[in-house]
Amino acid sequence: MALVKRRRYQLESSSEPLEVIVRGLDVLNEPLLNKGTAFTEEERDALGLRGLVPPKVTDIDEQITRVMENYRRKTDPLEKFIFLTSLHDRNETLYYKVLTENLMEMTPIVYTPVVGAACQQFGHIYRKNRGMYISLHDKGRIREMFDNWNQDEIDIIVISDGSRILGLGDLGANGMGIPIGKLALYVAGGGIYPCKTLPILLDMGTNNQELLDDPLYLGIHEKRGDDEEYYEIVDEFVKAAKDRWPKVLIQWEDFTNDHAFPILSKYREDVLCFNDDIQGTGAVALSGLLGGMRMKNEKLADQRIIFYGAGSAAVGIADMIVAGIVEESGMSEVDARKLFWLIDSQGLVVKNGSRPLQEHKVPYARDEEQIKGLHDVIKYVKPTILVGVSGQGQTFTEPIVKEMLNYSDQPIIFALSNPTTKSECTAEQAYRWTAGKAIFASGSPFDPVRMGGKIFVPGQGNNMFIFPGVGLGASLCQASKVTDAMFYMAAKTLAEMVTEEELKLRTVYPDLRKIRSISATIAAAVCKMAFDEGLAGIDEPENILEFVEESMFKPEYPKYVAAEL
């Protein structure tokens, strides 16, 4: 038995009764259809549910009360993660209703930082499959495998190869927690229909010996292979996905630098795709800096910027800031890059260093002598902005943070590494060491800091501010590609949504509880840009924002009636 139009689970309208031809336990076992105790008396008769659920009919609000009571009994964050995953697996609508109404409380659980711990333990806490796995042994069969996924409309694929999960390194197939978590945020924050999302894990093996020795590890127990085979499978995946779901947007997630940049470079012009670690992280950081410029009443073109870290996130952020400087001041890209100093494991990134540079670092390499330590680089550069994307916790020490005060009355200090243990410094440290003068943001959440009779609210440079809106907009207008200009527009739009009251609290991002409104506004801006640049695949609607809002998924139960066979 199957749902009418079984591959259209999105249930796009609840204004009309939906005909269902599955009955009984099959309805309760389908998370996209299940309403649990919320099935009405009429639905219980029509769908053969009488006796299969408790007799009391409850509404979704009572169900939420029960969920939250049980959720808050859990004291361990990983147990909360497991609890929410179980809810996700049995009642999709209720899960997203709970998530959207408790976003500030639950985002750190379903995504960073707790998702990192969940990925580390993925094989040990595994309950039920969600998404698809492609291994190196599936070469030549990927298109055939995609027919096993019973949805004909997929809007967003998030794919990871598990090679660089947050700041935790190579977690192989355990990295599936990242695409699942990202897509949960797409639904809750961006209004993508749950059934139109597909998490994929590209399992090319792992070089993590601890996982290879773990009998409960669910990936292939092999070391990662050579690049030639790797790129052949990636290419097969892209072609198969586009053939199976022609309108799909592909988001690359948590790939190591040596693969992230080449993959993005190869496909970005011909395939609707983006890399969130490169472009999304860059846009959210740029938005934070634009907010910082509003506080300081200064221009980005007048800053001196040090990046502690020179990986894909660092260069993605730097590239986006360069685009912002060019747009803001008319400065050339070459001159804008001269405002940046990047530091990697060897020290200051220079052209004549001790070893060849990775290609993505070359545009930011300096014609200077190499300087090893961060503190020494700061003394040399005299920066106004310090950005941490190193994955090295507690590296912004008190002397380093205080040194920043010598070059700016309000130094901008962004400690963006995830999870919390990898953050270069905490919000409290940044505020206390600068007597509240620092403009601080982080990758992971920190609580507000009370100091000197004031409350300082640290901004979280959460990619959730950017990627749901960009993905939603590009998907809705059926864009042919995602451009850097779209990400710049997203960053600018986000920065403009920070209120004066929020700036007074020293925060550079708007309230995350407004994420659906934020995502809709960003999506409309992305759509407008696609229409203006001739990249959209549909006709421009009269009111773009209204079009976006009406297209967003809302976690509400539909009404069912029995279908005639």
Catalytic residues: 111, 182
SS3 for 316-350 is HHHHHHHHHHHHHHCCCHHHHHCCEEEEECCEECE
Q: Within the chain, what is the greatest distance between any pair of CA atoms?
A: 79
What residues contact 72, with CB distance under 8 A and at least 6 apart? Answer: none
Neighbours of 385 (CB within 10 A): 24
Residues 407, 409, 415, 420: is their CA dihedral positive or negative?
positive
- Give strand ranges (E) for 254-310: 273-275, 305-308
Of 529, 526, 521, the closest CA to residue 552 belongs to: 521
Neighbours of 324 (CB within 10 A): 24
- With beta carbons less than 8 A apart as the criterion, state whether 360 and 315 touch: yes
Residues 118, 120, 125, 129: is their CA dihedral positive or negative?
positive
Helices (H), 72-176: 77-90, 92-101, 103-110, 114-120, 122-125, 142-146
DSSP 245: S
What proportions of the chain, in percent to the nearest 5, are helix, strand and coil?
A: 50, 10, 40
Residues 438, 441, 446, 450: is their CA dihedral positive or negative?
positive
